[in-house]
Structures are given as C-alpha cells and as structure tokens.
Amino acid sequence: MNYRDIPFKEYQDTAITILREHGFDRFSNIPVDPEVIIRRRGIRLIPWKDLKRDWAILGCVVKYEQGLQILIDEYHYFEQPESSLFTLGEELGHIELHLIDLDSITSIKKWINTLSKNDKYHKYIEQQAKCFSSHLILPNFIFESYTLDWTKKHIKEINKFRSFSHDGLANLIGSLITDDLEVSEYIISLALLRWPDRIIDKIVKQYPQILSRRLDSI
C-alpha cells in the first residue's frame, strides 16, 4: 500500500476519468454500480464465504495467476446491496490510488500483512478509498443536480425536522433520500459533505430556513 497526501480534487478527477472511460455521463443513472466498471477493467470479482468472520474485513484485493481479483464477503455482497457497492468502490480505489506492489499480494494473508505494515497510515488510506468510492458511486456531475431537484420537491418534508448544522442536515437528507436511491444513508451524507465544493452548502444557501437556530442563540 502506498500512502500519500492526496488533494480532494484528485479523488474526484480520478473517479471522473474512470467514469468517462466507461461511458458514464450526466444522463447516466445513479448510483453508479462499481461492479460494472470492475468487470470492464478485467478485474475478477469473487464473493468469498465468511471473509469478514475469518479475516475481519469486508473486501480485499489480491493478484493470482489469473490477474487482479477483488474478494468481497459473500453475505455482505448478496444481503447488503445498499452498502456493498461502496465496499466495491473502496477496493477499486485501493487499486487506483494505493497499490504499487500488486504482484506481491497473492493471498488474503498477504493483504492483511500489507495492511499491518502500513498501520501508521491505515486510517488515512481507508479515508482516501472511501472518498474515491463516494465520487465513483455518486459523481457530482450527476448527483448535484439530482439532489438539488430532489430537495426542491421535498422541502416541506425536510422542514418538518430540526437540523442545527450542515452535518445534521446532510444526515437528515441522507435518511430521507436513501429509499429513492437505494443507497445507504451514510454514503449519501458523505457525498453531500464532500470538499471542496460541498452540495450541502448550496442547499443551505438556496433554502436557509431549513437550518434551525440553536435556542441559546436566540
């Protein structure tokens, strides 16, 4: 694994480049399914029984003789589709952003060993992969217009709740929009709060009344 300080724009640009390469544009549906891209890039996807139970991970990347493979916990893949697509995006993110020594990672054990060697930066590496996955699944060039339109149509529903911060409002919108997109609330709120051009800031600027003031500030 290779940790480096990646600027926010690089996550977005890398994801957009991949999406463009595979024919996604502003008219495409969201969420984007990373599995489509993974298979088009010649990477084999394998649901692995008890991967989480036996190794305490939901997914990993290995390279066998057949080439690159992404292993994903079988239960997670089949029974948790609203979040497993995010896991697939993360593993693709590791391939695109971090893995410079893929030839040496030929088993789950060697993947775990690679993680342990990078323990100091593991948190940051995972954050980078999550950010990349978010840009891949809900790219701004589709997600922003979708969300602004959705907010306009559901403003009365949003106003029924009290949100005192941008983070709280993002969580609220995430909880309301999750059924429409069939994506987990966490993924949606993460996409709304992405730097540097945060969609949630645009929503608040357009509808300032949806942020309640704290009682002690009145």
Q: Classify strands 59-64 and 44-48 as parallel, antiparallel or unpaired.
A: unpaired
Give the number of other Cβ atoms within 10 Å of residue 181's Cβ.
21
Average model confidence (pLDDT) across the chain? 91
Are 64 and 158 found together in one domain? no
> Domain containing 23 — which CATH number?
1.10.10.2910
For residue 1, the model assigns a pLDDT of: 67
Domain assignment of residue 153, given as a range: 140-209
Indicate the residue among 119, 137, 155 that finishes a domain: 137
pLDDT-based confidence at 216, cuts 50/70/90? very low
Indicate the residue among 137, 165, 187 that finishes a domain: 137
Are 124 and 173 found together in one domain? no
Using one digit for the tens of pLDDT, what is the confidence trace for 4-21? Answer: 788 888 889 999 999 999
Are 94 and 158 found together in one domain? no
Which residue, 211, 157, 208, is CA-closest to 179? 157
- Structural domain count, the chain: 2
Residue type at 129 in one-letter notation: A
Q: Calculate what percentage of the chain has a pLDDT beyond 90.
A: 72
Are 88 and 182 found together in one domain? no
For residue 151, the model assigns a pLDDT of: 97
What mean pLDDT do residues 132-154 have? 97
The residue that leads in pLDDT, 4 or 72, is 72
Q: pTM of the prediction?
A: 0.90
Are 125 and 156 found together in one domain? no
For residue 125, the model assigns a pLDDT of: 87
For residue 68, the model assigns a pLDDT of: 92
The residue that leads in pLDDT, 43 or 102, is 43
The residue that leads in pLDDT, 169 or 124, is 169
For residue 200, the model assigns a pLDDT of: 97
Tell me how far apart the alpha carbons of residues 97 and 87 are, in angstroms, rounded to a whole number: 15
Using one digit for the tens of pLDDT, what is the confidence trace for 85-124? Answer: 999 999 999 999 987 767 788 899 988 888 787 778 888 8
Burial (Cβ within 10 Å: 0-12, 13-18, ≥19) of residue 122? middle
Are 62 and 96 found together in one domain? yes
b/e burial code for range 156-168 (CB count within 10 A of at least 16 → b): eebeeeebeebee
Question: Rounded to the nearest 10 degrees, how much is the dihedral formed by the CA atoms of 156, 26, 196, 122?
Answer: 110
Q: Would you list the DSSP string of 154-198?
A: THHHHTTS---SHHHHHHHHHHHHHHHHTS-HHHHHHHHT-SSS-
Are 195 and 206 in contact by the 8 Å Cβ rule? The answer is no
81 preceded by cis ω (within 30°)?
A: no
The residue that leads in pLDDT, 167 or 64, is 167
Rg over alpha carbons for the chain, rounded to the nearest Å, is: 19
Tell me how far apart the alpha carbons of residues 151 and 207 are, in angstroms, rounded to a whole number: 9
Q: 38 pLDDT exceeds 90?
A: yes
Evaluate whether residue 216 is within a structural domain.
Answer: no
Q: Classify strands 59-64 and 67-73 as parallel, antiparallel or unpaired.
A: antiparallel
Are 83 and 117 found together in one domain? yes
Are 21 and 98 found together in one domain? yes
For residue 217, the model assigns a pLDDT of: 43
Q: Helix 199-206 vs helix 185-192: angle between axes, to the nearest 10 degrees? A: 80
Run of H or E including 45: strand 44-48
Which residue, 178, 150, 172, is CA-closest to 160? 172
